Chain A
């Protein structure tokens, strides 16, 4: 039996006997688009069973050192492999208790999920579950959160880029990045909060209660409003645009602010 390994770099180990299905291909494509390198475990030979996937998965874990594992619960048509993924999960967490595993299954809830959780919690593994019918975007989002690694830079559409490590916001034009010097101090903190929330979840709003620590004066809400306005002006000037009330940073019915990707 031989093994076919696809991909390299920052790797996601994909252990699923349906990896050639259209549905899984759309997930693999999305992973690649988002900068991940899927490493597909695909044992070759006749009468492939869940055992073959388990052996290959454990071998690939050692050989490829993936950042996370995307694992199916059900393997093959044999009854004995009905929940083979749970046994593979146990083997994975036994080998590396810190390995993030996203279980790609339709048993996201109910007793089977509990079984899987109890199998994994004993070693404090980082395990999450996602429905097999989830969209590729949702799969990648969950995987990204599970790994817990924010990207080096957070892109805000095609116009801006935040470099949290160097505390810098850039305007991007024709592949060239130019530092926006006006955005620093509290304005940078606000930008960072909003951009990080957007990165975590597109619909996440940052409530006033969290943002008001970046404002001062007696009326912190008014102070925050001024800072946001200044922020939008600085960002607009950097790309020769004027961002309206419903663009880039939006006040959502006086609950808080939300960042949205600007249109090109």
Chain B
């Protein structure tokens, strides 16, 4: 049962209880006794009213208790706790984005001057500018991760369902991360099979976010190559992100999707990332009716090493959403 239905049920049972009360009150003025000394001595309308009131009141209390168990924060306000927090973080995201925009703007102006006049050309400056530029997707992802995290706290939230060009999402994410991969000496390629992939029904922004986190993760750990491949089966589509990094130890595979886990954590080294990306991608994939799996191969004499994350999601998510 979704929350909209619960609200309707509460309102309906409150109205029923109200009608019961009204009948009891009205019975004094408009009803008449059937016969003294019998069950109908007071007034039949009062009995009926009392019955209606009890049904309405019991239902109201029952639904309130049920909803309180599922939602400790309550649903008295039309806006959920998550929506309120969401608003806060949207403003926060805007505020944190502003200085970043200024930095990026200055950086790009400086680069233009460098290219046009050649007067400002120290190699170190160019490297620094590149570094700033390449940090931008990280900032973007961090901001987005905070927003999605808050969203995930809301157990009642249902994934949106819309027609989605998932190939375009993979293309956009790959385009965004390609310069970063190139800067790190990696080659990022992507493709989809079949080439005319068509639309799927699901939560486009969640797809975008999951794929972004997987590609971002691959750029952190790949050695030279990253592949992003989009395929489909009869009822689902698969996004497979492969990298030729050194791989993940088998004993750590179970923890890859834990909140806050990073490879550095297991090595007792300083964390290089938040450890939220894969947790978020995995949680989102479950919410969207799919799953995220990981396979990894570490170099054991053969020299072969790689990690594959496979995101599997239904082609049509419309049945997942109630109402």
Contact = CB atoms under 8 A, between A and B. Distances in A.
Interface string A82-100: 0000000000000000000
B139 to A, nearest CB: 7
A23 B101 contact: yes
A108 B209 CA distance: 10
A133 B106 CA distance: 13
A133 B171 contact: no
B136 interface: yes
Interface string B126-144: 0000000100100110011
A234 to B, nearest CB: 25
A133 B104 contact: yes
Given A22-B106, A107-B90, A204-B189, A131 B140 contact: yes
A107 B190 CA distance: 26
Interface string A120-142: 01000000000111111110011
Nearest to A21: B105
B101 to A, nearest CB: 5
Contacts of A25: 105, 109
A225 interface: no
Contacts of B160: 114
Contacts, number: 115
Contacts of B100: 133
A17 B142 CA distance: 26
A153 interface: no
B260 interface: no
B102 interface: yes
Contacts of A29: 112
B91 to A, nearest CB: 9
Contact of B191 (A111, A114, A207): A207
A45 to B, nearest CB: 25
A23 B108 contact: yes
A202 B171 contact: no
A210 interface: yes
A190 to B, nearest CB: 14
Interface string A33-75: 0000000000000000000000000000000000000000010
Interface in B64-91: 83, 86, 90
B195 interface: yes
B93 interface: yes
B2 to A, nearest CB: 17
10 contacts: A22-B102, A25-B109, A106-B97, A106-B143, A110-B90, A117-B162, A203-B189, A204-B190, A207-B191, A256-B191
Given A74-B94, A201-B190, 14 more contacts: A24-B105, A25-B105, A106-B143, A109-B147, A114-B162, A133-B97, A138-B176, A201-B171, A202-B178, A203-B178, A207-B193, A209-B195, A252-B189, A258-B189
Interface of A: 21-26, 29, 74, 106-114, 117, 121, 131-138, 141-142, 145, 200-207, 209-210, 252-253, 255-256, 258
